[in-house]
Structure 1
């Protein structure tokens, strides 16, 4: 089993580098165009040159603590600390707004239901008094 371990490690590194290269946005790739990196990883994967070259020279640099991760398009936004949803005032405000919309929709549905029930009661009362369009029953 140990004799297969180097092969499996090389294969794992090759697959990781290939998928990482494919998932990296084109504007964040360093050195060469993305398609060139894909070919380098595929052609030189068995000897570890391609995947190692991608990880060292082609992969976008990750920012460490306090720097913030790159935003889409390569632009960097303001450094923001992650906030839990129940501590985020914007999220709580959006929940309140959504709740108000739901309450308004529920009131509209209830009013529509009351209106339909009244119409049904009027029709039932009208047909039981003989005013309905139903022909008299033969008996």
Structure 2
């Protein structure tokens, strides 16, 4: 019985340390609810329960993160669905014209030619 208590205590300490490190190294944008500092205190002061709370409530999943990166309408399928066919055709013509302009600019700049 004492062997199980020692192993359980060791596993609890490992989980506690892993929770503290995971909470501390995550960027502030991956913390849900309260601030990063508050989560670290929760995990430190409530060893096993704090870690469980951190992994279930406080940590955002990688796919849930709002990175602040804004995609253009050409990369957003939802925006493309909202566009009419005429708008899509006009956007394609604009992009083709811009690509042709960029090709023309780069034709004279290539030293290997």
TM-score (norm 2): 0.53
**Number of equivalences:** 70
Structure with greater contact order relative to length (CA < 8 Å, sep ≥ 6): 2
Asked if residue 33 in structure 1 is aligned to residue 26 in structure 2, the reply is: no
Q: Which has the larger radius of gyration?
A: 1
TM-score (norm 1): 0.44
2:62 alignment partner, SS class: coil
1:75 paired residue number: 68
Matches of 2:30 and 2:67 in 1, distance apart? Answer: 6
Q: Deviation at 1:62?
A: 2.8
Matches of 2:45 and 2:23 in 1, distance apart? Answer: 14
1:24 paired residue number: 26
| Aligned CA-pair RMSD | 2.4
Matches of 1:29 and 1:16 in 2, distance apart? Answer: 16
Matches of 2:57 and 2:40 in 1, distance apart? Answer: 13
Q: By percentage of residues, which structure has more helix?
A: 2
What are structure 2's unaligned runs of at least 5 residues? Answer: 76-113
Matches of 2:39 and 2:31 in 1, distance apart? Answer: 9
Matches of 2:69 and 2:51 in 1, distance apart? Answer: 27
